[in-house]
Amino acid sequence: MPCWCGSGKKYKQCHEDFDKKIRHYEIMGHPVPTHDMLKNREQVELIKKSAVINRACLDAVSEAIRPGMNTQEIDDIVYQTTTSMGGIPAPLNYENFPKSVCTSVNSQVCHGIPSKKVILKEGDIINVDCSTILDGYFSDSSRMFMIGEVSEEKQRLVRVTKECVQKGLEATRPWGFLGDMAEAVHKHAEANGYSVVREIGGHGVGLEFHEEPWVSYVSNAGEDMLIVPGMMFTIEPMVNMGRPGIYTDKKNNWEVYTKDGKPSAQWEIQLYVTEDGPEVICW
Ligand code: MF3
Ligand code: CO
């Protein structure tokens, strides 16, 4: 019997022991990944090509972003960069999302819609969340940008949120659990007086924009899905300066805001899990 992974090797000599190990965790009651969530090296190489474009977009935004700029101009940069490199912006027309990138300013938590009417001003913080399709392979990452002089307290939110992602990455290991990563993320946020959004999380990614598993950043060590080599997912916590509560703008069903009106920050990386640990594919 040939292995399901497509290696051409016999199952016995390929993933049989691997599957037995997963089965062991499943019997103990843990959610475990299915084979269709796992990527092989060839797929990862193609996903990395998509990620080159995604990173180029965020690098280009980083060069251009300044006070007085409107967020439609950010959308233009992302659309131009992506298409000139042969890619497709994944957000465009995704479930009726009207633009090529998400731009979320201050108390916007995520999914902000670029607009000529949203003009960046000194002191703003903004998340630019970029996702690319290249030859059917998906990449996804986001960064925060600070516009001109930003208050100490907003600078700290942006820095701590980035540290949360770093801590989550350090807690990610094969044959650990997504909850190990989540705990590292939210403990750092909470130790700094912040809260982590509960309702919106990360996701598997690579062959689709959003794949299983759904990824929480508020669960605890030992909880949620077993992490196995071959998995690819995002670490993208939304960290609120105040309370965790959020709401979605009913006018467009996309834009998400903090209920208390306080700022929120997010950084997103895409990673691939190998036997040796996580490899960051996109940032
Ligand atoms: N890029 C977002 C993520 O990190 C998803 C945005 S969906 C969109 O998962 F349609 F708004 F682009
Ligand atoms: Co994502």
C-alpha distances out from residue 134 to 13, 99, 267, 276, Å: 33, 18, 22, 27
Residue nearest to atom 9 of ligand 1 (CA): 202
Does residue 111 have its Cβ closer than 6 Å to ligand 1? yes
Question: What integer pLDDT is reported at residue 88 of this predicted model?
Answer: 98
pLDDT for 107 beyond 90:
yes
Question: What integer pLDDT is reported at residue 239 of this predicted model?
Answer: 99
Does residue 183 have its Cβ closer than 6 Å to ligand 1? no
- Which residue in 24, 2, 13, 10 sits closest to 228, CA to CA? 24
**pTM reported for the whole predicted model:** 0.97
**CA-94 nearest atom, ligand 1:** 10
Residue percentage of the chain with pLDDT more than 70: 100
Neighbours of 234 (CB within 10 A): 24
pLDDT for 96 beyond 90:
yes
For tokens 């990610």, the residue is 172
> How much is the mean pLDDT over the chain?
98
Question: What integer pLDDT is reported at residue 71 of this predicted model?
Answer: 99
pLDDT for 86 beyond 90:
yes
Rounded Cα distance between 24 and 103, Å, is 43
For tokens 């903090």, the residue is 258
Residue nearest to atom 12 of ligand 1 (CA): 91
pLDDT in tens, 203-227: 999 999 999 999 999 999 999 999 9
- Which residue in 94, 90, 93 sits closest to 57, CA to CA? 90
**Residue among 140, 256, 283 whose CB has most ligand 1 atoms within 8 A, to mutate:** 140
Does residue 145 have its Cβ closer than 6 Å to ligand 1? no
Radius of gyration of the chain (CA): 19
Does residue 255 have its Cβ closer than 6 Å to ligand 1? no
* Sequence-separated (6 or more) residues with CB below 8 Å from residue 210: 203, 204
- Which residue in 125, 111, 197, 198 sits closest to 157, CA to CA? 125
Does residue 282 have its Cβ closer than 6 Å to ligand 1? no
Question: What integer pLDDT is reported at residue 135 of this predicted model?
Answer: 98
Return the structure tokens found at 100.
């090529």
pLDDT in tens, 246-265: 999 999 999 999 999 999 99
Q: How far is CA 86 from the centre of its chain?
A: 22
* DSSP secondary structure code for residue 95 in this structure: G
Does residue 268 have its Cβ closer than 6 Å to ligand 1? yes
- Which residue in 97, 94, 89, 98 sits closest to 60, CA to CA? 89
127 Cα–ligand 1 center, Å:
12
Is residue 70 within 8 A of residue 116, CB to CB? The reply is yes
∠ CA(181), CA(233), CA(215), 5° rounding?
A: 55
pLDDT for 87 beyond 90:
yes
pLDDT in tens, 159-197: 999 999 999 999 999 999 999 999 999 999 999 999 999
Helices and strands per DSSP (H, E), number in the chain: 5, 15
Question: What integer pLDDT is reported at residue 6 of this predicted model?
Answer: 87
Does residue 97 have its Cβ closer than 6 Å to ligand 1? yes
Q: Exposure of 115 by Cβ count < 10 A (0-12 exposed, 13-18 middle, 19+ buried)? A: middle
What 3-state class would DSSP assign to 232? strand
Question: What integer pLDDT is reported at residue 160 of this predicted model?
Answer: 99
Question: What integer pLDDT is reported at residue 40 of this predicted model?
Answer: 94
